[in-house]
Amino acid sequence: MADATVLYPRGCAPETVRFRVNGARPSAEEAAQLTAIPFERTPPSAEEVKEAFKWFFVGIGVAIALWFFGNWLIRGFVGPAVLFFGYGGAYVGAPLLLLFGVFSLGKLLRSARKKKAKAALEWLWMTSLLGENSVGKRFGKPDYAISTLYRLVPKQRPISGRKIADYIDALRKALSDAADETTIPAKEEPPKTWQETGATKSLTVTGEAELFPGVKELSATICFKDCLSRGDGNNKTVTMVTAVLEIEVAQSFICSGGYWYPYELTSPIERLPALGSGGDTESR
């Protein structure tokens, strides 16, 4: 695997752009009703099945190719390259990719019903809204996001597919527009061969409060770092962090039958003024 070097545009980390998501809270009457809704397990969606098998076959196919290529080098050549590419490819790379393929299929066994509110929050944002299936791009496919959201809530909860699709588009556009403010200019950094390489995302729960029995409000910070990359000609990848976004989240979760689900799937997102501008003085 190539080494990676991380840089910033003009040597300075981008200023963090902040967003806030304040979800609605249920009333006491709603809470009593929602905690009594049956929450049955649902099978993986067609999009999840397709995604899992795609990476299963990729892992298996590349593992087989590495095995034969590595053994071909071992039989026909000598030198340091044989140790790295031959033995390394056949006896290290191939088994790792084989495990990757099997692990991809293992995702089909996971349940969207979570026994902890934190896990439901992570599924909502990291699996669905931001898209865990993103590879080399900022976000995963919208259909995947929508299908995984359907599994996160009980069937008796009304869900508008159109509303969810519009929300995902608006959310991702808001984040993309903010990232582009610094990412697009960064593409002109010498030697001007930078390519989109996706984004890194992390979620940290910062608070938890019980609103009613079986109802909690979770606070979290989601960090989203946009990146570009290029090769340096020496088997190394140079990565440049071109935008840093933070989303402050406060959303309610309901427990039904021992499993947690979000009270609201489409909580509005608001871009906050830059720190020091004096515009962000109100707290919830």
Count of beta carbons in the 10 Å neighbourhood of residue 191: 7
Cβ neighbours of residue 176 closer than 8 Å, sequence gap 6 or more: 138
Cα dist. 64→43, 61, 78, 105 in Å? 31, 5, 22, 17
Euclidean distance between CA atoms 117 and 114, whole angstroms: 7
Count of beta carbons in the 10 Å neighbourhood of residue 62: 16
What does the pLDDT read at residue 144?
A: 93
Question: Which of the 8 DSSP states describes residue 55?
Answer: H
Integer-rounded Cα Rg, in Å, for the chain is: 22
**249 in helix, strand or coil?**
strand
What does the pLDDT read at residue 4?
A: 54
What does the pLDDT read at residue 85?
A: 73
Count of beta carbons in the 10 Å neighbourhood of residue 215: 23
What does the pLDDT read at residue 2?
A: 42
pLDDT digit string (tens) for the chain, length 284 residues: 344 567 888 888 899 999 999 999 999 999 999 999 999 988 888 888 888 888 788 888 888 888 888 888 788 777 776 777 777 777 788 788 888 878 878 787 789 999 999 999 999 999 999 999 888 889 989 999 999 999 999 998 878 889 999 999 999 999 999 999 999 999 999 888 899 988 999 999 999 999 999 999 999 999 999 999 998 767 678 899 999 999 999 999 999 999 999 999 999 999 999 876 665 545 45
Euclidean distance between CA atoms 30 and 35, whole angstroms: 9
**22 in helix, strand or coil?**
strand
Relative to beta strand 215-231, strand 3-7 is unpaired
> Residue 262 corresponds to which tokens in the numbers above?
């979000």
**pTM (2 d.p.):** 0.83
Nearest in space to 216 (alpha carbons), one of 154, 260, 246, 258: 260
Place of tokens 């191939």: 94
**145 in helix, strand or coil?**
helix
What does the pLDDT read at residue 177?
A: 97
Alpha helices (H) in 107-152, listed in sequence order: 117-122, 142-151
What does the pLDDT read at residue 133?
A: 86
Strands (E), the chain: 3-7, 17-22, 195-212, 215-231, 236-256, 259-262, 269-271
Cβ neighbours of residue 46 closer than 8 Å, sequence gap 6 or more: 147
Count of beta carbons in the 10 Å neighbourhood of residue 40: 10
Q: Are 261 and 39 in contact (CB under 8 A)?
A: yes
Per domain, the residue ranges of the chain are 3-41+113-271, 52-104
What does the pLDDT read at residue 46?
A: 86
